[in-house]
Copies of this chain bind each other. A is one copy, B any other.
Amino acid sequence: MSLTISEIRQAAERIAPYILKTPLLRLPSLDKALGCEVYVKPECFQITGAFKLRGAMNKILTLTPEELARGIVTASSGNHGKAVAYAAHLLGVKATIILPHGAAQNKVDKIRHYGADIVWASLEDRFEVADRVCREKNAVMVAPFNDEQIMAGQGTAGLEILEDCPDLDALVVPVSGGGLIGGLSTAVKALSPRTKVYGAEPALLPRYSESLKAGRRVKVEAHHSVADGLVSLIPGEICFPVVAAHTDGFAAVSEDYVLKGWKRLVADGKVFGEPSGAITLGAVLEGLIPVKKTDKVCFFISGGSVSLEQLRLLDDVQL
């Protein structure tokens, strides 16, 4: 485990010209329902629509000119692929994105729009396919989460959150492979050790809850969650020890409460983020994370990869 606050600070400087410093939104309209002072970090307003640009840009900017000339490859369920395609386009680098069958059409269109090549694979095989394509093309892999420079890039959002709210009591983070929470928790614990950092993952895919209980990385069975960006089956090898060292707890959130959290975020909070981000609100609504009325709690909204049509899922959700 070697990710440090200094690497995150360097990443922040490196990517500053290419990303937006999103604001920390105070949303008093959600205080009553969530039982705390609600803040959100709305990365749905980030360029390419998700926090993923931070990590992708940081990784690509640390490659050598020789590596860049060989082109880059990644496997991604969407937001990371979009970020890599955009970054590659911006820097004039050739990119190939391996996408799982069933990826949302709006994400696929954006990736095509940025001029990247797409290779399709099953959810389970996508990393193998990416490895093969990478070898065949002699290209450089830009992994979606299991990479220290990716984690450092994602962690830059943690610097911004604490700059805007130095006395934050807790941060709740959506979790898939662990790149985001690895970076954020490293940043937060270095700057404000008293601030709690919690992960929220689908109860259908409890890879971190299970792994932390077992004390080693556990692979869980594949399931479809409405939090459709949080698809990893096993924690990243590089991410896991970082996350284990810096987090204060994990919530395995039921599908019902992902939807309830999402409805609160959109209907009352007025932020049209993706369900994968709203899982953080679901975790608190389900009572899985302890918060007090006077606590300042930041809910990390991963992105906005969601269409108006998908809101139909909320029709029968009771708050």
Binding site for B on A (CB under 8 A): 20, 23, 25-29, 42, 44-45, 47, 49, 263, 266-267, 270-273, 304, 307-308, 311, 314
CB < 8 Å neighbour of A45 from B267, B270, B273: B270
Is B314 within 8 A of A270, CB to CB? Answer: no
Interchain CB contact under 8 A, B273 and A270: yes
- Copies of this chain in its oligomeric complex: 2
Task: Name the B residues within 8 Å of A308 (CB-CB).
Answer: 263, 266-267, 311, 314
Which B residues touch A26, using CB under 8 A?
20, 45
| Residue in B28, B47, B270 whose beta carbon sits within 8 Å of that of A20 in the complex | B28
Distance from A112 Cβ to chain B, minimum over Cβ atoms (Å): 15
- Extra A-B contacts (8), CB below 8 Å, given A20-B28, A266-B308, A272-B272: A23-B23, A26-B45, A29-B49, A266-B272, A270-B271, A270-B273, A271-B271, A308-B314
Determine the residue in chain B with the shortest Cβ distance to A308. Answer: B267
Some 12 contacts from A to B, beta carbons below 8 A apart, are A20-B28, A23-B23, A28-B47, A49-B270, A266-B272, A267-B307, A267-B308, A270-B272, A270-B304, A272-B272, A308-B311, A311-B311
Q: Which residues of B contact A45 (CB under 8 A)?
A: 25-27, 29, 270
Which residues of the other chain, B, contact A42 by a CB distance below 8 angstroms? 270
4 tightest A-B contacts by CB? A23-B23, A270-B304, A44-B270, A270-B272
Task: For the complex formed, measure the closest distance between the CB of A265 and the CB atoms of chain B, giving whole angstroms.
Answer: 9
